[in-house]
């Protein structure tokens, strides 16, 4: 199985400051069709996960543009340009390239 490793696991951030979460995979996430199926999710307290970014860098509809995704191969990053109070929650990366699809352990973002 592809192991997804996120860092940090805990991320205290001051309001208005940037934040960055790293996600590394144990093998390349480039599919045979040429696409990279790496997605990012946000789970606010008491809510279902919500996808923010799909296929590395494509922002979902309604997602603020302060969220951005980048990376390639085995190394990916989610960035928040200026953290707001509503961004509190747990963030997960997920690979959908190879079954068994797998999530990272999650990064808990809190306001400092």
Partner 1 sequence: EMQLVESGGGLVQPGRSLRLSCTTSGFTFGDNAMSWVRQAPGKGLEWVGFIRSKTYGGTTDYAASVKGRFTISRDDSKSIAYLQMNSLKTEDTATYYCIRGTWGGYWGRGTLVTVSS
Taking the C-alpha atoms of residue 80 and residue 83, their distance in angstroms, rounded to an integer, is 6
Taking the C-alpha atoms of residue 36 and residue 51, their distance in angstroms, rounded to an integer, is 16
66 binds partner 1 (CB under 8 A): no
> How many amino acids of this chain bind partner 1 (CB under 8 A)?
20
Which of these, 83, 89, 52, lies nearest to 68 by C-alpha position?
Answer: 52
22 binds partner 1 (CB under 8 A): no
C-beta of 16: minimal distance to partner 1 in Å? 28
- The pattern of x and - marking residues 25 through 54 that bind partner 1 according to CB under 8 A reads ------------x-x-x------xxxx--x
User: Is the preceding peptide bond at 100 cis, omega within 30 degrees of 0?
Assistant: yes
24 binds partner 1 (CB under 8 A): no
5 binds partner 1 (CB under 8 A): no
User: What are the tokens at 29?
Assistant: 């996430």
C-beta of 28: minimal distance to partner 1 in Å? 18
């Amino acid at each position: 199985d592809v192991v997804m490793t996120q860092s940090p696991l805990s991320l205290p951030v001051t309001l208005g400051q940037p934040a960055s979460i790293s996600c590394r995979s144990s093998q390349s996430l480039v599919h045979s069709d040429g696409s990279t199926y790496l997605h990012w999710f946000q789970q606010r307290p008491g809510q279902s996960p919500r996808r923010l970014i799909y296929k590395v860098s494509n922002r979902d509809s309604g997602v603020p543009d302060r969220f951005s995704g980048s990376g390639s191969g085995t190394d990916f990053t989610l960035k928040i340009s200026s953290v707001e109070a509503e961004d509190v929650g747990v963030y997960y990366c997920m690979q959908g390239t190879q079954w068994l699809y797998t999530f990272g352990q999650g990064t808990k973002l809190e306001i400092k």
